Structure 1
Amino acid sequence: MKIAVLSDVHGNLPALDAVLEDIFRWGPDEVILNGDLVSRGPYSLDCLHRLRAALPGIRLLAGNHEEYVVEAQREVPEPDTPQYELTRFARFAADQLGEAELARLGGWADHLDLTDLEGGSGVHVTHGSRLGNRAGISASVPDEELPARLGDRRDLFIASHTHKPLLRRFRDTLIVNVGSVGTPMDGDPRASYGQLTFRDGRWSAEIRRLAYDRMRTERDYFDSGFMAAGGRFAEIILAEFREARVLAGPWMRRYHRAVIDGELTLDEAVGRHLEEQAVQGKGLL
């Protein structure tokens, strides 16, 4: 049996097309989207349409960004507030999707349990972990924290969310983080997805990395209106795409509270963060 799992597309259509082409060549029995198809990128609706047209039988799971765009449309903060500015990029995706698609997204499951596979093998697929769609599994998670994140034992546990591919064994479970199609953050800008194979009573995994037209995607950030509609925080999102590394998380930990409390403007906080990263020799922009 062969299963392909992709996640964290984030509206990056050229990257999605490259992954779909590779999936068709491989010919899996099942294809699963493990969340975060939408938001944080140029063309959320186009990616949704492309995925449905190419793979009508795909299993669709929600990630934290499906949840986020639904909330962004339902609860819009007061204009001219930090909360409003920080959610502009999510409302851009929500506006692209429209009410009907948002309603469908709201009905996507957040996990998939496959327990009736050949050989009695059990597989669990979820965007983050059993602790929630923002509680990912990375190389830095210590072994003692894994039982709570994995839950009931399965032969194969497939996760995403961190944008960093991972193959890890814990006791008798193979843990696979399939990485990100649209915005990898492990220093490798190529699109990433997972190929899982069950053979001779055992699961094996391969992380596929694929080059694609990143110059086109960068143009898409501007041509789609994302950069204009997403506000100043969109600059950090674009920098993450360019550098293939995490920038929003450190910004949130250092500056988010200060912006919400009015100690800094969003412009000041984003500018400082990008300057600090440039001083460290990272060459963001």
Structure 2
Amino acid sequence: MRFAFLSDIHGNATALEAVITDLNKKDVDHIVVLGDLSFRGPEPKRCLNLIRSLDASVVKGNADEWLVRGFNEGEVPKEALDGLNKERDWTLKRLNDEDLTYLSELPSEMIVDRGQDQLIHAFHATPTSLFENVYPDETTKIEHQLMQKDEADVYAYGHIHLPFVRSFHGKNVINPGSVGLPFDGHPLASYIIADLEEGRHTMQIHRVPYNREHVVELYHQGGYPNIETMGRVVFYGVKP
């Protein structure tokens, strides 16, 4: 069975459309979206509409939680809080109650079982946190914090905006990186396709070009409150 894993779209509907177009050529059986759907991009509403049209399995990310209930103390640096609140207010003006209900009701984790022999444990950051960072080289944290369900064969998460695939004890841990805001210096939209068959896993990271200039222009047209920073992230694939 062929799965596509997408994460961290962050309101970049142009990048998401490019990925969906690419997926339509790949004969994918099911799509898994690993959170952070709308916040910090110029088209939050269109992203939600696109995602909800996919019949995908979707889990909640920290940015989805922030849109619903705001920022709790300690979740973001104090010096960034004012700017993030302005970005959140801007985004909320473009969503309605139904959109926020959809985000609030997303599960924080799930087992994806589409009748295949291999089970997928999907979550945004870790199975117990929407916020904790676990990086590709942190072997101990990967084994103890991500690989918590012994019955799973694949552990899929997002959050760090860095794509990778690693194998442990005959199982795979994968991160598709970010569709909308890559942080690895490679600004193309990122996702993973996984072919899961009995006794065999094939994982491949895909990078998809899209019109980044158009996205930056959308930030300007919409009067986004943090245009310079977000435009740099989109155009160069770097952290804000």
Q: How does the TM-score come out when normalised to structure 2?
A: 0.89
1:140 to 122, 131, 137: 137
1:206-235: CA deviation from partner (whole Å, max 9, x where unpaired): 111011111111101111222xxx25xx53
Match of 1:59 among 57, 60, 71: 57
**Match of residue 88 from structure 2:** 90
In structure 2, distance between residues paired with 1:116 and 1:15: 27
Cα distance, 1:104 vs structure 2:
1.6
Query: Are residues 1:206 and 2:204 paired?
Result: yes
Q: Which residue of 2 aligns with 1:126?
A: 123
C-alpha change, 1:216 and 1:28, in structure 2 (3 Å) is same
Give how far 1:92 is off.
1.4
Rounded to whole Å, the distance in 2 between the matches of 1:16 and 1:144 is 30
Overall identity of the aligned pairs, in %: 26
The reply on whether 1:32 has 2:29 as its aligned counterpart is no
Q: What residue is the counterpart of 1:237 in the other structure?
A: 230
Name the SS of the counterpart of 2:70 in structure 1.
helix
- Contact kept, 8 Å, 1:9 with 1:181, in 2: the verdict is yes
1:116/1:16 Cα in 2 relative to 1: closer, same or farther (>3 Å)?
A: closer
The TM-score, its normalising length taken from structure 1, stands at 0.76
Structure 1 residue 32, shift from structure 2 partner: 1.5
Determine whether 1:221 maps to 2:219. yes
Task: Find the aligned partners of 1:28 and 1:85 in 2 and give their Cα distance.
Answer: 39
Q: Structure 2: how far apart are the matches of 1:115 and 1:136?
A: 26
Which protein shows a greater Rg? Answer: 1
Q: How far is 1:8 from its partner?
A: 0.8
* TM-superposed deviation, 1:4: 0.9
Aligned-residue offset at 1:170? 2.0
CA distance in 2, matches of 1:85, 1:199: 46
Instruction: Pick from 149, 173, 176 the counterpart of residue 175 of structure 1.
Output: 173
Q: Higher helix proportion, which one?
A: 1
Number of residue equivalences: 233
2-structure distance, mates of 1:202, 1:135: 30
Taking structure 1 as reference, are residues 200 and 173 closer, same or farther at Cα in structure 2, changes over 3 Å only?
closer
Residue 20 of structure 1 aligns with which residue?
20
Q: CA deviation at 1:68?
A: 0.5
CA 1:82–1:4 in structure 2 vs 1: closer, same or farther (change >3 Å)? closer
Deviation at 1:22, TM superposition (A): 1.0
Tell me which amino acid in the other structure corresponds to 2:8.
Answer: D
Residue 100 of structure 1 deviates from its aligned partner by 2.0
Structure 1 residues 147 and 117: alpha-carbon distance in aligned structure 2, compared to 1, 3 A threshold: farther
2:52 aligned with 1:48: no
The ranges of structure 1 where at least 4 consecutive aligned residues each deviate by more than 6 angstroms after the TM superposition are none
Name which structure has the greater RCO, CA cutoff 8 Å, separation 6+: 2
In 2, the alpha carbon distance for the partners of 1:46 and 1:144 equals: 35
Q: CA deviation at 1:9?
A: 0.8
Provide the secondary structure at the position in 2 that maps to 1:42. Answer: coil
SS at match of 1:25: coil
From the superposition, tell whether residues 47 and 124 of structure 1 become closer, same or farther in structure 2 (CA, over 3 Å).
Answer: same
CA-atom RMSD in angstroms: 2.2
Partner of 2:69: 71
